[in-house]
Homo-oligomer: A and B are copies of this chain.
Amino acid sequence: MEELIRYGEKFFDELEIAVYRSKDVSASVELNEISMASTRSGALTIIRGIKDKRLGLAIVDSDEPPRIMEAIEQAAKMARLNSPDEKWVSLPEPGKYREGPKPNYELKDASPDGLVEMLVRGIKLAREKDEHVVVAGGEGGVSWEERHIVNSHGVDVSQEGGAAFLFLELVGRKGDVVTPGIFDFDAKRSLDLDVEGVVERAVQKVKWAYSVKASKNEEVPIILGPWAIAGLFSYALFPAFSGERLVKETTPLAGKVGEKIASDVLTIYDDPFHELSIQPVIADGEGVPTRKNVLIEKGTFKGFVWDNYWAKVHGTESTGNGKRDIRSGGINIGFHSMVIENGKRPLEEVIAEIEHGYFVDGFQGAHSSNPDNGNFAVTANPAFLIEDGEVVGSSVFLIAGNVYELLKSATEVTKEQTVMPFMTTIITPFVKFENVKIAGK
């Protein structure tokens, strides 16, 4: 890599070479049968070079030096044709990395066969537990990634690791009732996925869903589950923590560092080293050391996160939140492993205290939330009605609100903490909110 950097310096004032090697195995379910098993692997090199503040960016799906040299030349041609970016300062300088957890090498050699067997076990178990259930869909996957990032200022960092995930979608048909698709999932840094737990939780939710209850306009306590939280926060809240949005004046959190923006029970941070993290990276996409960045501490907003570019534009330092977009090759501000700190009591106890309210498993329409102001309008589906401390059926309703008002109404976080591997990866308890306005549907 050293030689390639020297080669690139003939064309550029500074440059970065990022090599990604990956292996992904997966297997899918459709209508109670295994529909596909796949093995994919590959290498990708991304060149980012700057000459007179002009950017060149080239991607090539190879890690072989002659192909990388071609990509360097392509990036150089592009840089000559682009205009200078007067805001450009420089690529990152070397930093000190923490020692991360050891990778689990069994993930590197995973085969789809193991996933197929796991899914077959899940399908069998689900249908044994409830004969009215169809496993409508599902997937098991294992990803392994090796990253090597070097730049002409001396950054040189290699890391590798993997994770496994599983999700199942169940639909129950009983009498005239067809339940909505009911999801559950598991993800961790080992092949020891909790198939039994996924099935048990999903079947329990299907059972609740057989009893359909009307919803009406009212103010009620609601408990949000991991999938609902990940959906809503990924679109309505997390983008507001981005330093780029502070510079561009598109975050409602500008000027609010140190202010109370949520209830005391909420502490939210980004921490790739959390014990449940499925991607414990020591460096971000441009080689900056990662760290634990607290965003909300007991309700108080603690600050923004930055990548190298926007940090330097703003006159601050990268917080290690430059995430590589493998498709475009570019760096965007993002999160490695968001964590909502958990509490002391289990979900069961929290439900047991609710006289009338809902437990919301998933939201539809969260992607159209507005992170500029936190407004959202979502459909809670599936949502489960709680009466006198017990779940008694399922329902659908709308919530149109503002995520910051919601944050202030949080009153408890449960002891359970779940890794939600889709959208922004988030490790979260169930969270209870009071007096949420819902509209019956």
Q: A residues touching B (Cβ–Cβ < 8 Å)? A: 27-28, 32-42, 55, 57-61, 70-71, 74-75, 77-78, 81-83, 85, 111-113, 116-117, 120, 328-330
Q: Which 8 A-B pairs have the closest CB atoms?
A: A38-B59, A40-B61, A33-B82, A81-B120, A37-B58, A36-B57, A39-B60, A34-B78
Interface contact A112-B74, CB-CB below 8 Å: yes
A61: chain B residues within 8 A (beta carbon): 39-42
Interface contact B32-A60, CB-CB below 8 Å: no
A74: chain B residues within 8 A (beta carbon): 37, 39, 111-113, 116
Main DSSP-derived SS at the A contact region: mixed
Which of B35, B41, B117 contacts A328, CB < 8 Å?
Answer: B35
Within the complex, the shortest CB–CB distance from A45 to chain B, in Å, comes to: 10
Among residues of B, the one whose C-beta sits closest to the C-beta of A119 is B81
Interface contact A38-B329, CB-CB below 8 Å: yes
A82: chain B residues within 8 A (beta carbon): 33-34
Interface contact A39-B55, CB-CB below 8 Å: no
Among residues of B, the one whose C-beta sits closest to the C-beta of A58 is B37
Which of B34, B60, B81 contacts A38, CB < 8 Å?
Answer: B60
Interface contact A28-B59, CB-CB below 8 Å: no
Interface contact B81-A116, CB-CB below 8 Å: yes
Within the complex, the shortest CB–CB distance from A307 to chain B, in Å, comes to: 16
- Considering the chains assembled together, what is the distance between the CA atoms of A59 and B26 in angstroms? 10
- Considering the chains assembled together, what is the distance between the CA atoms of A111 and B60 in angstroms? 11
- Considering the chains assembled together, what is the distance between the CA atoms of A113 and B75 in angstroms? 9
Which of B33, B34, B77, B111 contacts A116, CB < 8 Å?
Answer: B77
Among residues of B, the one whose C-beta sits closest to the C-beta of A59 is B38
A39-B60, A59-B40, A77-B113 known; A83 vs B329 contact (CB < 8 Å):
no
- Considering the chains assembled together, what is the distance between the CA atoms of A58 and B40 in angstroms? 11
Within the complex, the shortest CB–CB distance from A60 to chain B, in Å, comes to: 5
Among residues of B, the one whose C-beta sits closest to the C-beta of A40 is B61
Within the complex, the shortest CB–CB distance from A330 to chain B, in Å, comes to: 7
26 A-B pairs (CB sep. < 8 Å): A28-B328, A32-B83, A33-B82, A33-B83, A34-B81, A34-B82, A35-B57, A35-B330, A36-B57, A36-B58, A36-B59, A36-B329, A36-B330, A37-B59, A38-B58, A39-B59, A39-B71, A39-B74, A40-B60, A41-B61, A42-B42, A42-B61, A77-B113, A81-B116, A81-B117, A81-B120
Report which residue of A38, A120, A330 has the largest number of chain B beta carbons within 10 angstroms of its beta carbon: A38
- Considering the chains assembled together, what is the distance between the CA atoms of A190 and B57 in angstroms? 25
Among residues of B, the one whose C-beta sits closest to the C-beta of A117 is B81
Which of B37, B112, B328 contacts A36, CB < 8 Å?
Answer: B328
A55: chain B residues within 8 A (beta carbon): 33, 35
A33: chain B residues within 8 A (beta carbon): 55, 82-83, 85
A330: chain B residues within 8 A (beta carbon): 35-36
